Amino acid sequence: MGPREFPLESDEDLTILSGILRLATKYGAKHMRDNALQVLRRKFPSSLSDWDSLAENARFRWTCDPIPVINLVREVSAFSPMPAAMAFLTNNSSAGEVFAVQVHEGTGQRSSLHKLRASEDIKGFALMKEYDHASVVKMINFIREVGSNCKQPPEPESRPNGMSPVGTLRHEFRASICSGIFHEVADNLALKFMMREDPMGYRDFGMMVLQDVMSQRRPICRRCRVSFKTGYVEHRDSWWNGIPHILGLPDLRGWGEDHT
């Protein structure tokens, strides 16, 4: 069975796949090992765009717990699924949940069967939490600066005829409106982020950013929209590409292949 047909849609599938990966590693079967890793990367992909499409389609599907996967790839020293698995874990679980400590009343519970085993990975998880936090702050600071040099008048709002008297709204907008909007969005995001008891991961924060900017009813000029989108993508890419370094992993050659 090739890697494309191998299912990874249940805990049983993961157990079987883990067995294959361990055996392939033990007997030096490189092709089989690469195939097994390729299956794992379907759930823990090497590119951020793959994670985005995975998350969009995942709502009603089985989700793979990243902890057994982290323990597995550590055990067999095959690290290509590790950055995504650690990013998933950091995004979806609080430290209290992962280490089974009730930090506050709403601390989530997870199965005690699944604990991070290697000390490198416990350290990696703590570092990832800090990395996510610092990356969120960077994103907020970036958003606050969007539009600060804006001299463009906003695009006219397309309103159905008769909703407001002609000209009234357009006169109120000045060139600096974009800057005001992004300042306000940044401050609201910072407040929402700070007021959570369970910290929010970088990916979920990114989704909240998009939602807040897209739901703005006031007009943002084209140039500021483009500069927001460009910077948003750059910030996320740089966060994603920095994960192997944070985890102290060897060069992963684009995360697609493993050193053996």
Contact residues: Zn ion, CB under 5 A:
147, 150, 152, 178, 221, 224
CB of 166 to Zn ion, least distance (A): 24
Between 221 and 243, whose beta carbon lies closer to Zn ion? 221
Alpha-carbon distance of 32 to 23, in angstroms, equals 9
Between 38 and 152, whose beta carbon lies closer to Zn ion? 152
Between 37 and 221, whose beta carbon lies closer to Zn ion? 221
Alpha-carbon distance of 61 to 5, in angstroms, equals 17
Check: CB of residue 239 under 8 Å from CB of residue 124: no
User: What is the number of the residue whose Cβ is closest to Zn ion?
Assistant: 178
CB of 223 to Zn ion, least distance (A): 5
Q: Is 17 exposed, middle or buried (0-12, 13-18, 19+ CB in 10 A)?
A: buried
Helices (H) and strands (E) in the chain, counts: 11, 0
Between 116 and 220, whose beta carbon lies closer to Zn ion? 220
CB of 184 to Zn ion, least distance (A): 14
Alpha-carbon distance of 20 to 91, in angstroms, equals 28
Would residue 147 be called left, alpha or beta, if left means φ above 0 and alpha means ψ between -120 and 50 degrees? left
CB of 140 to Zn ion, least distance (A): 19
